[in-house]
Amino acid sequence: MMFTHAITRKPGTDFASGLTSSKLGPPDYQLMIEQHTAYVNTLTLLGLAVIELEPLPGYPDAYFVEDTAIVTPDVAVITRPGARSRRGEEKTIEPVLAQYRRVERIHAPGSVDGGDVLAMEGHFLIGISHRTNKQGAQQLGRILEKYGNTWSSVPVKAGLHLKSSINYLGNNTILVTREFSDLSLPEGYEKIMVDDGDEYAANTLALNGTIIMPAGFPKTRKKLDEAGYEIIELDVSETRKMDGGLTCMSLRF
Ligand code: CIR
């Protein structure tokens, strides 16, 4: 799928008070803004029109816009985020997406974070995690089916979200960590496994023929180079300190 648009949100000055389990130390606001700007510039370079939203007061995790919706060519499904502190973020994304897609919603008691939903062409893997529950996955699955897609659910055994560990590279190929190396995929799909120690590098973002990967993972870089991918590396050290990565910081459609 070629993407034409992305929604991003500038991190607020309160971003360091967001949820995190990382032990990487406190993030730096100025550096965060520089890295976020480089990210937005890269999306623009890859041909996307970027809709940059302002920080959302009271929601320090709101720049992780990916968690608030699942956007397909036919529909935008507004999620019900799994973390209580993040509920409400989705309400500010809905009017933006409603300009481009018809809108459907996940309802209580279902919860879904977009970070648990991996689109591989018309098939969606939905991770069941601490954020996405079975009811949420079923609601989302039914909506996706209505628009001609297929889906399957996967337990998220490691990492915050499914896409912390698995991402689609295009060409029927996914990048996975060892924990997910036995994942069953639709026929014809292949896996590239990141080495132990490179788990964070599994959070890559494939956009219009280019793979954006986090800087600092030469072993994974070599594997992707050898597989023939066009690659851009971005430093996302400050986002990582808040348990986020490259996919979380935008909604692409
Ligand atoms: C959170 O815990 O919700 C945020 N600090 C990080 C969310 C990262 N989102 C994503 O991986 N899709």
Q: Where are the domains of the chain?
A: 5-252
Instruction: Read off the pLDDT of residues 214-239 as tens digits, 9 standing for 90 and up.
Output: 999 999 999 999 999 999 999 999 99
Where are any strands of DSSP class E within the chain?
5-9, 49-53, 69-71, 75-78, 102-105, 117-120, 123-128, 150-155, 166-170, 173-176, 190-193, 205-207, 210-214, 230-234, 251-252
The Å distance, Cα 243 to ligand 1 centre, comes to 6
pLDDT at 249 over 90: yes
Instruction: Convert the pLDDT of each residue in 107-133 to its tens digit.
Output: 999 999 999 999 998 999 999 999 999
Average pLDDT in the chain: 97
Instruction: With cut-offs at 50, 70 and 90, classify the pLDDT of residue 72.
Output: very high
Answer positive or negative: Cα dihedral of 195, 200, 202, 205: negative
**With 90 as the cut, is the pLDDT of residue 186 above it?**
no
Q: Which atom of ligand 1 is nearest to the CA of 81?
A: 3
Ligand 1 centroid, distance to 67 Cα (angstroms): 7
Tell me: the pLDDT tens digits for 2-39? 999 999 999 999 999 999 999 999 999 999 999 999 99
User: How many Cβ atoms from other residues are within 10 Å of residue 43's Cβ?
Assistant: 23
Which atom of ligand 1 is the closest one to the Cα of 161? 11
Determine the pLDDT at residue 107. 98
Which residues lie with the beta carbon below 6 Å from any ligand 1 atom?
A: 18-20, 61, 64, 66-67, 83, 86, 115, 160-161, 164, 242-245, 247-248
In CATH terms, the fold of domain 5-252 is L-arginine/glycine Amidinotransferase; Chain A (3.75.10)
What's the whole-number mean pLDDT along residues 91-97?
A: 98
Please state which of the ranges 181-190, 203-212, 226-235 shows the lowest mean pLDDT: 181-190
What average pLDDT score do residues 232-253 get?
Answer: 98
- Round to whole Å and give the CA distance between 104 and 162: 22
